Amino acid sequence: MSTILVVHHSPTDTTRGVASLVLDATREAARQVNEVAGDSSDMIDVTEVNALEPSVGQLRDADAIIFGTTANFGYISGALKHYFDSTFMEIGEDLKGLPMSWWIRGGYDTTGASKVMRSITTGYGWSPVVPPIEFVGEVEPHTTELRDMAQAVVGALVQ
Protein backbone atom coordinates (compact mmCIF):
# COMPACT_ATOMS: atom_id res chain seq x y z
CA MET A 1 0.00 0.00 0.00
CA SER A 2 1.16 3.51 -0.85
CA THR A 3 0.50 6.52 1.36
CA ILE A 4 -0.08 10.12 0.37
CA LEU A 5 0.32 12.67 3.14
CA VAL A 6 -1.64 15.90 2.92
CA VAL A 7 0.25 18.19 5.32
CA HIS A 8 -1.35 21.57 5.85
CA HIS A 9 -1.95 24.47 8.15
CA SER A 10 -5.41 25.87 7.56
CA PRO A 11 -6.33 28.35 10.29
CA THR A 12 -9.18 30.15 8.51
CA ASP A 13 -12.51 29.11 7.07
CA THR A 14 -11.15 29.85 3.61
CA THR A 15 -8.04 27.71 3.97
CA ARG A 16 -9.98 24.93 5.72
CA GLY A 17 -12.18 24.92 2.61
CA VAL A 18 -9.11 24.64 0.37
CA ALA A 19 -7.72 21.82 2.49
CA SER A 20 -11.06 19.98 2.37
CA LEU A 21 -11.29 20.38 -1.38
CA VAL A 22 -7.75 19.03 -1.87
CA LEU A 23 -8.31 16.16 0.58
CA ASP A 24 -11.58 15.18 -1.09
CA ALA A 25 -10.00 15.27 -4.56
CA THR A 26 -7.01 13.24 -3.37
CA ARG A 27 -9.22 10.66 -1.65
CA GLU A 28 -11.52 10.38 -4.65
CA ALA A 29 -8.59 9.82 -7.02
CA ALA A 30 -7.13 7.26 -4.60
CA ARG A 31 -10.54 5.53 -4.35
CA GLN A 32 -10.65 5.21 -8.14
CA VAL A 33 -7.16 3.70 -8.18
CA ASN A 34 -8.08 1.34 -5.34
CA GLU A 35 -11.14 0.09 -7.25
CA VAL A 36 -8.93 -1.28 -10.00
CA ALA A 37 -5.94 -2.23 -7.85
CA GLY A 38 -4.76 -5.77 -8.45
CA ASP A 39 -3.79 -6.34 -4.83
CA SER A 40 -3.26 -4.40 -1.62
CA SER A 41 0.26 -3.37 -2.62
CA ASP A 42 -1.27 -1.30 -5.46
CA MET A 43 -3.72 0.50 -3.19
CA ILE A 44 -3.34 4.12 -2.03
CA ASP A 45 -4.16 5.53 1.41
CA VAL A 46 -4.55 9.28 2.02
CA THR A 47 -3.58 10.64 5.43
CA GLU A 48 -4.25 14.17 6.63
CA VAL A 49 -1.45 15.65 8.74
CA ASN A 50 -1.60 18.75 10.92
CA ALA A 51 1.59 20.70 10.23
CA LEU A 52 1.88 21.39 13.96
CA GLU A 53 2.22 17.65 14.63
CA PRO A 54 5.21 16.56 12.54
CA SER A 55 6.22 12.90 12.52
CA VAL A 56 9.51 11.84 10.95
CA GLY A 57 8.25 8.25 10.79
CA GLN A 58 5.09 9.27 9.02
CA LEU A 59 7.05 11.35 6.53
CA ARG A 60 9.58 8.58 6.01
CA ASP A 61 6.75 6.15 5.21
CA ALA A 62 5.10 8.50 2.71
CA ASP A 63 5.10 7.72 -0.98
CA ALA A 64 3.84 11.17 -2.00
CA ILE A 65 2.95 14.42 -0.28
CA ILE A 66 0.80 17.50 -0.77
CA PHE A 67 1.50 20.59 1.31
CA GLY A 68 -0.93 23.40 2.01
CA THR A 69 -0.32 26.76 3.63
CA THR A 70 -1.34 30.33 3.93
CA ALA A 71 1.00 33.08 2.80
CA ASN A 72 1.78 35.22 5.85
CA PHE A 73 3.89 38.38 5.68
CA GLY A 74 5.72 37.08 2.61
CA TYR A 75 6.32 33.63 4.10
CA ILE A 76 4.70 30.24 4.62
CA SER A 77 2.75 29.64 7.82
CA GLY A 78 4.79 29.22 10.97
CA ALA A 79 3.15 25.83 11.45
CA LEU A 80 4.39 24.50 8.11
CA LYS A 81 7.84 25.97 8.78
CA HIS A 82 7.75 24.07 12.11
CA TYR A 83 6.94 20.87 10.19
CA PHE A 84 9.98 21.34 7.96
CA ASP A 85 12.22 22.38 10.88
CA SER A 86 11.17 19.28 12.81
CA THR A 87 11.79 16.77 10.04
CA PHE A 88 14.67 18.03 7.91
CA MET A 89 17.63 17.01 10.07
CA GLU A 90 16.46 13.39 10.20
CA ILE A 91 15.19 13.17 6.63
CA GLY A 92 17.53 15.39 4.61
CA GLU A 93 17.60 14.02 1.07
CA ASP A 94 16.65 10.45 2.11
CA LEU A 95 13.37 10.84 0.23
CA LYS A 96 14.86 12.48 -2.84
CA GLY A 97 12.44 12.36 -5.75
CA LEU A 98 9.32 11.97 -3.57
CA PRO A 99 6.28 12.95 -5.68
CA MET A 100 4.81 16.14 -4.26
CA SER A 101 3.18 19.47 -4.86
CA TRP A 102 1.51 22.21 -2.81
CA TRP A 103 -1.07 24.92 -2.60
CA ILE A 104 -0.61 28.39 -1.15
CA ARG A 105 -3.47 30.79 -0.54
CA GLY A 106 -2.58 34.40 0.21
CA GLY A 107 -4.63 37.44 1.01
CA TYR A 108 -2.47 39.78 -1.06
CA ASP A 109 0.63 38.01 -2.39
CA THR A 110 2.21 34.55 -2.51
CA THR A 111 5.61 35.46 -3.98
CA GLY A 112 7.67 35.08 -0.80
CA ALA A 113 5.85 31.93 0.33
CA SER A 114 6.34 30.39 -3.11
CA LYS A 115 10.05 31.15 -3.06
CA VAL A 116 10.37 29.60 0.41
CA MET A 117 8.49 26.43 -0.60
CA ARG A 118 10.75 25.97 -3.62
CA SER A 119 13.85 26.52 -1.50
CA ILE A 120 12.82 24.16 1.31
CA THR A 121 11.56 21.37 -0.93
CA THR A 122 14.71 21.62 -3.04
CA GLY A 123 16.67 21.08 0.18
CA TYR A 124 14.82 17.79 0.65
CA GLY A 125 15.55 16.85 -2.96
CA TRP A 126 11.91 17.18 -4.01
CA SER A 127 10.41 18.93 -6.97
CA PRO A 128 6.72 19.22 -7.76
CA VAL A 129 5.31 16.56 -10.09
CA VAL A 130 2.76 19.14 -11.18
CA PRO A 131 2.90 22.93 -10.89
CA PRO A 132 1.84 24.10 -7.42
CA ILE A 133 -1.34 26.12 -7.06
CA GLU A 134 -0.60 29.56 -5.65
CA PHE A 135 -3.28 32.23 -5.53
CA VAL A 136 -4.74 35.20 -3.73
CA GLY A 137 -8.34 36.02 -3.09
CA GLU A 138 -11.30 33.76 -3.62
CA VAL A 139 -10.93 29.98 -3.90
CA GLU A 140 -13.70 29.40 -6.44
CA PRO A 141 -11.72 30.37 -9.56
CA HIS A 142 -9.05 27.80 -8.55
CA THR A 143 -11.12 24.74 -7.62
CA THR A 144 -10.42 22.89 -10.86
CA GLU A 145 -6.69 23.60 -10.60
CA LEU A 146 -6.64 22.39 -6.99
CA ARG A 147 -8.46 19.17 -7.90
CA ASP A 148 -6.18 18.59 -10.88
CA MET A 149 -3.09 19.06 -8.71
CA ALA A 150 -4.36 16.53 -6.16
CA GLN A 151 -5.22 14.01 -8.89
CA ALA A 152 -1.81 14.45 -10.50
CA VAL A 153 -0.03 13.62 -7.25
CA VAL A 154 -2.11 10.45 -6.96
CA GLY A 155 -1.38 9.71 -10.61
CA ALA A 156 2.35 9.98 -9.97
CA LEU A 157 2.08 6.87 -7.78
CA VAL A 158 0.49 4.76 -10.49
CA GLN A 159 2.87 5.65 -13.29
CA geometry: angle at 92 spanning 87 and 111, to 5°?
75
Q: What is the mean pLDDT of residues 99-117?
A: 97
Amino acid symbol at 123: G
The per-residue pLDDT of the chain, averaged, comes to 96
Q: What is the DSSP string of the chain?
A: -EEEEEEE---SHHHHHHHHHHHHHHHHHHHHHHHH-SSGGG-EEEEEEETTS--HHHHHT-SEEEEEEEEETTEE-HHHHHHHHHHHHHHTTTTTT--EEEEEEESS--HHHHHHHHHHHHHHT---SS--EEEES-SGGGHHHHHHHHHHHHHHH--
Instruction: Check pLDDT > 90 for residue 112.
Output: yes
Full residue range of the structural domain in which residue 128 is found: 2-157
d(CA 34, CA 28): 10
pLDDT more than 90, % of the chain: 92
Each residue of 48-98: pLDDT tens digit?
999 999 999 999 999 999 999 999 999 999 999 999 999 999 999 999 999
pLDDT, greater one: 135 or 159: 135
CATH number, residue 98: 3.40.50.360
What is the domain count for the chain?
Answer: 1
d(CA 103, CA 29): 17
Each residue of 140-152: pLDDT tens digit?
999 999 999 999 9
Record the pTM. 0.96
Q: What is the DSSP string of 98-114?
A: --EEEEEEESS--HHHH
